[in-house]
Amino acid sequence: MERSLSMELVRVTEAAALSSARWMGRGKKDEADDAATTAMRDVFDTIPMRGRVVIGEGEMDEAPMLYIGEKLGTGDGPEVDVAVDPLEGTNIVALGTWNALAVIAIADRGKLLHAPDMYMDKLAVGPAAVGKVDINAPVLDNLRAVAKAKNKQIEDVVAVVLNKPRHQQLIEDIRAAGARIRLIQDGDVAAAMNTAFDDTGVDILFGIGGAPEGVLAAVALKCLGGEMQGKLVPKTDEEKERCAKMGITDFEKVLHMDDFCGGDDAIFAATGVTDGELLKGVQFKGSKALTQTVVMRAKSGTVRFIDGEHSLEKKPNLVMK
């Protein structure tokens, strides 16, 4: 992949964030998602690449744009697979809470897991704990491993878990171990990514969330030197059939980093839509808007935080009537 694509992807996520941020707190998650998707798709038309969506807004018959299999880019440049979530955290934006992101990841053609839209059990850690955790191990063992790797007492470890009824036992196990918990309603891509940054105060992510989001988080952690493990959790016969088409019939099979994103290169970019531990959300300041984006590349290990200033006078479509 070309190095210049990193900055091109920043333009993509910035556009999605700027468009969806206008809907913050208005209780209209679909409108926010549509705004992000439309803006992201428009910018893709200007990117010098031959892209193919492998994780997007759904199948061709259920998504008007950024559907799985859609071709993106100008038709020139490298062949890449593209995973997108124009608005990771539609409910977050609707409610005006924390950690909504516009997200994109790309890798060389054929190197991204084509994760079906179903649940996945996930375990994510930052660089210090790579190789020291196991999704099949008891919660206590993984918390102890992270504590030892980060030179902490287990009481100082912070685990992030989606606050869902399915995680009641998991939450009880973490509390019984003595660790602390940060419960979130949505947004586990941001939560997984936060495990790789000490300043966020997050040490480990546990629990079941969306499989497509698992792939996006895994690409971010690949760039950051962290680790994601996952197991698909199909709920219906149709979902089981989709797994079988991927060659997965053993649902206890653990997916590791090379399963999520093979090869030695990938690029990940995320722009904050609402404020979070890692990124500030979009701020509207009269005739301008401010964004904050993180973009990283696995091959070079480069991580950049980019503050953007955007003229609203030159982007009248961002001014909501």
Binding residues for substrate: 88-90, 119, 164-166, 186-188, 210
Could you list the residues known to form a binding site, using ranges: 33, 57, 85, 88-90, 119, 164-166, 186-188, 210, 213
| 151 Cβ contact list (under 8 Å, min separation 6) | none
Could you list the residues known to form a binding site for Mn(2+), using ranges: 33, 57, 85, 88, 213
Structure tokens at 273: 């839509």
Residue with tokens 């409910």, as numbered in its chain: 91
> What gap in Å lies between CA 13 and CA 297, rounded to an integer?
15
Give the DSSP H or E segment for 257.
Answer: helix 257-260
> What gap in Å lies between CA 224 and CA 310, rounded to an integer?
28
Q: Tell me the sheet residues that pair with 228.
A: 124
| 232 Cβ contact list (under 8 Å, min separation 6) | 115, 116, 118, 119, 120, 211, 243, 248, 251, 253, 255
Cα 78 to the center of its chain, rounded Å: 23
Q: Tell me the sheet residues that pair with 44.
A: none
Q: Give which of 18, 238, 6, 248 is closest to 115, Cα–Cα.
A: 248
Residue with tokens 């290169």, as numbered in its chain: 265
